[in-house]
């Protein structure tokens, strides 16, 4: 009994040290690099879903079921979540049962028992944001791989996962009744500048056939939230300077594809993982290729010289398909220069 108490006390002490180190850490965003092998033929298949964590309600379970079927058909390698993983206010801690109720117990299909690479959304930041980054959750469900910003190298493609919530100024200046967990992020300007520098450096080093950025917030959108001006001002120049092919996001609870008027970057929103049908549509000057206001998800199949996107609804019906050949050597811009 005494040994057990001593062990528990030691564990608690080191847990406090870990939390203290996070709280006192400089607001830099060093990018972790994860390796994920492609298939034997060099190709890659994956699913993308966002804005889903509602304990199966609002058709979350229905979307999950269809994801399982498509995942099996495509023999997917992994799943990407574009954030807002747990509603309404993230997790309360690593012992929050919502983790299993909204994730483990919902995405049960055999084909979905692959790694899930996740970013945080604004709703995740309203709870204990650090809980989703904790290795404790990975022990509960080994699929769950969530970080603020990181890289997944899958041979033919580099995915650059970007923590977009801190970019939105209104969350800092006008949070209303919401509380945002800015531990490890504040001060905002330093955090963002460090993140942009790290992204620029990592993207410059990338030799992959495809470069894809993933964030929660929209860069371009015709739905409720529309374009995110902070991302257009701060993040987009980095993506353009480094020849990023696609930006994939959630935040707006819809499925959409937008082709920008000012760069070759294609924008894909996959935020239909649960609650949707907002009935909001605001066309802008960008070229809208596809828009669906309901629930669903997206698949992406990548080859050395071709990318194939497909949107599905909650019944598994194919809504839209888009294919693009690699433009890698065609549209490289001038180098991005970070603020000092």
Q: Which residues are catalytic?
A: 225
Q: CA end-to-end span of the chain, whole Å?
A: 56
Query: Which residues, including other chains, have CB under 8 Å from residue 171's CB and lie 6 or more apart?
Result: 122, 125, 165, 178, 180
**C-alpha dihedral (6, 9, 14, 19), degrees to nearest 10:** 170
Residue 293 labeled ligand binder = no
217 labelled ligand-binding: no
Four-point Cα dihedral 77, 69, 265, 302, nearest 10 = 40
For β-strands 306-313 and 296-302, DSSP reports them as antiparallel
Would you say 322 is a known binding-site residue? no
* 334 annotated to a ligand binding site: no
Burial of 324 (0-12, 13-18, 19+ CB in 10 A): middle
Helices vs. strands in the chain: H and E counts, helices first: 10, 15
Residue 122, annotated as binding a ligand = yes
Residue 62 structure tokens: 């229905």
Strands 150-153 and 157-161: antiparallel
User: Is 51 among the annotated ligand-binding positions?
Assistant: yes
- 216 annotated to bind ligand: yes
Burial class (CB in 10 A: 0-12, 13-18, 19+), 334: exposed
- How many other C-beta atoms are found inside a 10 Å radius of the C-beta of residue 128? 19
User: Of 316, 210, 215, 211, which is closest to residue 271 (Cα–Cα)?
Assistant: 215
Residue among 339, 322, 310 at smallest CA distance from 76: 310
List the binding residues: 51, 84, 87, 122, 216, 251, 253
Output the known binding site for Fe cation.
Answer: 51, 84, 87, 122, 216, 251, 253
């Amino acid at each position: 009994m005494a040994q057990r108490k001593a062990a528990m006390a030691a564990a608690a002490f080191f847990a406090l040290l870990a939390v203290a180190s996070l709280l006192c850490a400089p607001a830099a965003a060093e990018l972790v690099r994860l390796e994920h092998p492609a298939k034997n033929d060099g190709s890659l298949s994956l699913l993308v879903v966002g804005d889903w964590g509602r304990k199966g309600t609002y058709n979350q379970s229905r979307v999950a079921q269809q994801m399982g079927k498509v995942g099996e058909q495509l023999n997917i390698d992994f799943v990407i979540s574009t954030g807002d993983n747990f509603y309404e206010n993230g997790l309360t801690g690593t012992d929050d049962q919502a983790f299993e109720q909204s994730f483990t117990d919902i995405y049960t299909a055999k084909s979905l028992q692959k790694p899930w690479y996740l970013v945080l959304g604004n709703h995740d930041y309203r709870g204990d944001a650090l809980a989703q980054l904790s290795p404790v959750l990975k022990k509960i469900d080994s699929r769950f791989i969530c970080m603020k910003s990181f890289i997944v190298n899958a041979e033919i493609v580099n995915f650059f996962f970007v923590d977009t919530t801190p970019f939105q100024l209104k969350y800092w200046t006008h949070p209303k009744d919401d509380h945002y967990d800015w531990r490890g992020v504040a001060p905002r300007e330093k955090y963002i500048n460090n993140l942009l520098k790290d992204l620029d450096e990592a993207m410059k080093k990338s030799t992959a056939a495809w470069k894809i950025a993933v964030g929660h917030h929209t860069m371009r959108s015709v739905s409720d939230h529309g374009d995110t001006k902070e991302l257009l001002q701060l993040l987009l120049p980095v993506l353009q300077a480094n020849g990023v092919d696609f930006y994939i996001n959630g935040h707006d609870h819809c499925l959409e594809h937008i082709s920008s008027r000012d760069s070759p970057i294609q924008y894909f929103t996959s935020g239909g993982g649960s609650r949707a049908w907002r009935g909001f549509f605001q066309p802008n000057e960008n070229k809208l290729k596809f828009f669906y206001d309901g629930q669903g998800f997206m698949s992406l199949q990548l080859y050395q010289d071709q990318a194939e996107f497909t949107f599905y609804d909650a019944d598994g019906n194919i809504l839209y398909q888009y294919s693009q050949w690699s433009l890698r050597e065609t549209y490289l811009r001038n180098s991005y220069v970070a603020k000092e």
